[in-house]
Structure 1
Amino acid sequence: MELTAIQKIAAYALPILFAITVHEAAHGYVAKYFGDLTAERMGRITLNPFKHIDPLGTILLPALSVLLGGVLFGWAKPVPVNFANLRRPKKDMLWVALAGPASNFVMAIGWGLILARIALFPANAQEFMAQMSLAGIQINLVLMVLNLLPLPPLDGGRIAVSLLPMKAAIAFSSVERYGMLILIALLFTGILGMILTPALRFFQHWLAVLLM
């Protein structure tokens, strides 16, 4: 029996909240570990989703994506990080940026484990939990792959800045002011989906292998 639109949104709601909350908190926690206390002072190292929610990017756009199909798209309020406060700003930037996508991969594995053990749930809850688990896998893999795109201000852009020689890193980081416009243009032209789909299939395959 197919889930209704309301049930489908409900099945996606918890995975979306977990995905964006843990992603952002992970950035803040790793930044604190490497010496920047900005996120902690602003109360952003927390699993309270209301601290990270952006009404448009976290609620409206993902809901429309679920109902209309296509690439799941959205964002949260970014955790503030002052990279100058890190002990080794350029090197430590890599670990701060990587923390968010890494947390999404761990959560995708967690939802995959739930899906693999769906028979442990009551029969009348299995369909809903299966949908929620599939949503959790999809959302976390999409967020991971999307954020790993080498485009500032995405995490992949920060990673690229960390790895590039200083002169090239400074030049590349100047793209950040146009980053979101470029991302939105890629989304509406369909290019973003063409970029993400092969990477998503790759990670879905290896996640399935891992959970076998």
Structure 2
Amino acid sequence: MDSIVLGISIYALPVIFAITLHEAAHGYVAKHYGDMTAYMAGRITLNPIKHIDPIGTIIVPLTLFVISKLTMGAGFLFGWAKPVPVNFNQLRHPKRDMLWVAAAGPGANLFMACCWALIIKLGLIFPESVYAKPMILMGMAGIEINLILMVLNLLPLPPLDGGRMAVSLLPHRLAYQFSKIEPYGFMILLLLLITGVLGAIVWPAIIMLKQLIAWIFGLYV
């Protein structure tokens, strides 16, 4: 039980900020390209309360984390926030700009993973500090959760960001046909998760990115 409480305290901030900043980035880039929907809804903010979905941001990640601890497995920790409203028709060039709006979320997660790497680096530079170990542990959690969300959202499956990016890049006719998958996207994702296919797809990419970040920042934990 103590390990579960400790784990929750380590993962809480990284999970909340990974999910909420992901959504805020979508809104900010949409505003940049002409859609003011998220801005008018007050969603371009770093205030987590504006983005938190009780189920996706708290209950699902917490449940998955506890299950992974109780079963002594690696687990697959993920979640979601309230989607930022984007009216793609309001973008100056809807099909083209959709690519950048969708890419903003995973891009924010990559940026945050690098920020957490810097926090680990500080903990390693000042190992005598009382904050060194918490910084390192929270940094490791931050890198992991951000890379999971980044890779997961880059899957070419509507309504994930990778699916919207694919719609943006495909020719109009193919994009229209591909977008019809969206109502079934979550069910497909859930099926992939239950069968273990999702983990087999994303974990190799996550591990590779972890190693790359460790090499770039010189992390040896």
Cα distance in 1 for partners of 2:156, 2:165 equals 8
Which residue pairs with 2:50 in the alignment? 51
Tell me whether 51-60 or 154-163 shows the greater mean CA deviation. Answer: 51-60
Identity of matched residues, %? 57
Within 1, Cα distance between the matches of 2:129 and 2:216? 26
The structural deviation recorded for 1:6 is: 1.0
Other-structure match for 2:91: 86
- Are residue 102 (structure 1) and residue 99 (structure 2) matched? no
Given residue 19 of structure 2, which amino acid in structure 1 is its aligned partner? Answer: I
User: 1:12: which partner in 2?
Assistant: 11
Aligned length: 210
TM value normalised by structure 1 = 0.95
Aligned partner of 1:115 in structure 2 is: 120
> What is aligned with 1:189?
195
Q: Name 1:33's counterpart in structure 2.
A: 32
Q: Give secondary structure in 1 for the equivalent of 2:83.
A: coil
Report the counterpart of residue 145 of structure 2 in structure 1: 139
What's the CA shift string for 1:116-143, capped at 9, x where partnerless?
Answer: 2214366433322221111100010000
> How far is the alpha carbon of 1:101 from its aligned partner?
0.3
CA contact (8 A) 2:78 2:145 kept: no
Check whether the contact 1:11–1:129 (CA below 8 A) recurs between aligned residues.
no
Distance across 1 between alignment mates of 2:176 and 2:52:
30
Q: Is the counterpart of residue 71 in structure 1 residue 76 in structure 2?
A: yes
Q: Distance in 1 between matches of 2:117 and 2:61?
A: 21
- Aligned counterpart for 1:129 among listed residues 127, 130, 135: 135
CA distance in 1 between counterparts of 2:84 and 2:56 reads: 14
State the distance in 2 between where 1:184 and 1:158 align.
18
Are residues 1:157 and 2:163 paired? yes
Gapped regions of structure 1 (runs ≥ 5):
none
| Match 1:177 to one of 172, 179, 183 | 183
CA RMSD of aligned residues (A): 1.2
Q: Could you tell me which amino acid in structure 2 is paired with residue 204 of structure 1? A: K
Structure 2, unaligned runs of 5 or more: 69-74
Deviation at residue 103 of structure 1 after TM alignment: 0.6
Tell me if structure 2 keeps the 8 A contact 1:9–1:63.
yes
Alpha-carbon contact 2:19-2:79 (below 8 Å) kept: no
Q: Compute the TM-score of the two structures, normalised by the length of structure 2.
A: 0.91
Rounded Cα–Cα distance in structure 1 between residues aligned with 2:82 and 2:28? 16
Paired with 2:141 and 2:178, the residues of 1 have a C-alpha distance of 34
CA distance in 1, matches of 2:148, 2:53: 18
